[in-house]
Chains A and B, each alone.
Chain A
Amino acid sequence: MAGFLARRVGGALLILLGVTAITFALLFLVPADPARQIAGRSASAATVESIRQQLGLNLPLWEQYGRYLLRLAGGDMGRSYIQRTEVASLIWSRLPATLLLMLGAIVCELLIGLTAGVVAAVRRGRAVDNAVMVASFIGVSAPQFVVGILLLYVFAVQLGWFPIGGYGTFSHLVLPALTLGILGGGWYSRMARSSMVDVLRQDYIRTARAKGAGPGRIVMVHALRNAVLPLIAMIGLDIGLFMSGAVVVESVFGWPGIGQLTWQAIQQVDIPVIMGVTLTAAVFIVLGNLLADLMAPFVDPRIRLR
């Protein structure tokens, strides 16, 4: 167990190191000169040069990368070109809103996906099953910004049940979380269906049936746990989906998280912020994968830790 943990954590750290190498390389592709960006348009050549010295942009590449890593280790992601504040503190202040949104999305995604998938599996080949499968295809093919605007139009503008956008109360959370959860719900319903179909075919289910358990008891007591828990344990793998989705959903609903921060940074070509968010998202994805790896054996003892 300890060896497994060490290997997985070590692997995750290596991936993170690679991630920083890529973001560092991306920064080098930026056509604009960062020293000039910071100095401003009217700065003299001498000022630009002194800023370049200060930032260490005249050093060899590997030394710059080393400094970049040291800065990152100290929580320094650079400064925003536009707002002149620390990127790290911008992201830090926006993170709680995004995490809350993700939590809501996870609840929506599991509620929609698992319910639909299990019902489809139990009623396999019937009209309900077909309807669920069609809906899941629509769910994974629908662009999130259109889903978001549609929900806003119907439930906020026309029916007035929810606020048009913003942040603060539970009712502000419902529509954005639902929008973010629908895509994952589409995937989960398909996975839950096939997982449930597999479980219902197994011998121990036949045994339960032979001993006289009713169909409701078989599904709820015997099958559900084995079919659904492994899927829930994989929730960490969805972080990437949520991080991408957050940019779209937060910009549609005006949700003050790191997605909205990204959207603002896009409009102003504020590259340090975009890089900071990309790096933060990558860290969360690596952590999510690690979490999924660690949870799998607890849910299914047949998976051995290697």
Chain B
Amino acid sequence: MTAIGLLLRRKSSVFGLVVVATMVAAALFAPWLAPLPPNEQFFEGLSLEGAPLPPNGQFWLGTDQLGRDLLSRLIYGARTSLLVGVVANGVAVLLGTLLGVIAGYARGRLGAAIMRFTDLMMAFPALLLAIALAAIFQPSLWIVAMVIAMVNWVQIARVIYTETTALAERDYIEACRALGAHWPRILLRHILPHLVPTVLVYATLGIATTVLLEATLSFLGIGVRPPEPSWGNIIYENQTYFATAPWLVFCPGAAILLLALGFNLLGDGMRDALDPTQRGRG
């Protein structure tokens, strides 16, 4: 059975795929899907006392503290989350794979230096390092993405390093070398293709981590800056209302949870589907 067939046999993977596909569609078609403009402050969007409105016929998920439509902000927020998630994680995966492969294949001093550097990075808590970086560089959406990438490449580098060292020991690599292949050819044609499944799995799981980290940074007020909607900063802006207007916290919260859950389930399903030792098992 092919990997895709195996993946689709699991209900949890299918669920993950559907969630991710829905969110991607929401992000891509936001201007057509959002019922109202996300940054417009509606006069009728606040009660007479100036409090946000609960879900109703005009504002399906209610309004926020400035009288903006929450549903529209959530739909546009999917753009921010996915954009940061894909860009940040893309850079992290690229960097991690590159350094992991180099360290695993070159070994020697270069390899040792790279791996000691990953040890060092592991000694920092991801969120605090991201906070320090974000506090130093005044964050914009792209800087937030780069900060997250700088923090998240380490895990992937370690996994790829381990796999590369194991591959480099194999006889067929020795044979390639004996036949006169140079290292760029060996890396590109004979090692990287074997790493593709691992990279795919970690790229998927990594987006979940990235989405959570972006949401957390935005919640702390050093991620994506308002008025640009991000699920994290919607909660940051409205958290003082959580007791009287809980939908302002729990709707974006549910969106973050669903997206992270979707990528986690999908990545977990992919790991099992792409693992050759799991073939043919129930």
> Which A residues are within 8 Å of any B CB, using their own CB?
15-16, 18-19, 22-23, 26, 29-31, 134, 137-138, 140-146, 149-150, 152-153, 157, 240-241, 243-245, 247-248, 251, 262-263, 265-267, 269, 271, 274-275, 277-278, 281-282, 285-286, 289
Contact = CB atoms under 8 A, between A and B. Distances in A.
B83 to A, nearest CB: 18
Nearest to A152: B242
Contacts of A18: 116, 119-120, 123
Given A149-B242, A157-B243, A271-B135, A138 B261 contact: yes
Q: Which of B127, B129, B249 has the most CB of A within 10 A?
A: B127
Contacts of A140: 264
Interface in B241-256: 242-243, 246, 249-250, 253, 256
Contact of A240 (B126, B208, B260): B126
A149 B249 contact: yes
B176 interface: no
A285 B249 contact: no
B140 to A, nearest CB: 14
Q: Which 8 A-B pairs have the closest CB atoms?
A: A146-B253, A244-B127, A141-B260, A141-B261, A243-B125, A18-B120, A244-B125, A240-B125
B91 interface: no
B212 interface: yes
Q: Which of B120, B122, B133 has the most CB of A within 10 A?
A: B120
Given A29-B136, A277-B128, A266 B221 contact: yes
Contacts of B122: 240, 285
B222 interface: yes
Contact of A244 (B128, B235, B264, B268): B128
- Give the secondary structure class of A's interface: helix
Nearest to A22: B120
Interface residues of B, number: 42
Q: Which of A145, A269, A282 has the most CB of B within 10 A?
A: A145
B160 interface: no
Contacts of A143: 212, 215-216, 219, 232, 253, 256-257, 260
Nearest to A26: B132
Q: Which of B128, B221, B246 has the most CB of A within 10 A?
A: B128
B264 A137 contact: yes
A262 B120 contact: no
Nearest to B236: A145
A75 B131 CA distance: 23
B123 A285 contact: yes
Nearest to A242: B125
Contact of A278 (B132, B216, B235, B243): B132
Interface string B140-184: 000000000000000000000000000000000000000000000
Contacts of A23: 132
A240 B126 CA distance: 8
A149 B239 contact: yes
A146 B235 contact: yes
A203 to B, nearest CB: 22
A274 B135 contact: yes
B260 A19 contact: no
Contacts of A243: 125, 127-128
B226 to A, nearest CB: 14
B265 interface: yes
Contacts of A251: 220
B128 to A, nearest CB: 5
B261 A282 contact: no
B124 interface: yes
6 contacts: A137-B264, A141-B264, A146-B249, A149-B250, A266-B131, A267-B221
A153 B242 contact: yes
A253 to B, nearest CB: 12
Q: Which of B124, B220, B257 has the most CB of A within 10 A?
A: B124
B216 A248 contact: yes
A138 B262 CA distance: 10
B220 A247 contact: yes
A26 B135 CA distance: 11
Contacts of A134: 12
A146 B123 contact: no
B126 to A, nearest CB: 6
A265 B131 CA distance: 10
Nearest to B254: A146
Contacts of A241: 125
Nearest to A14: B116
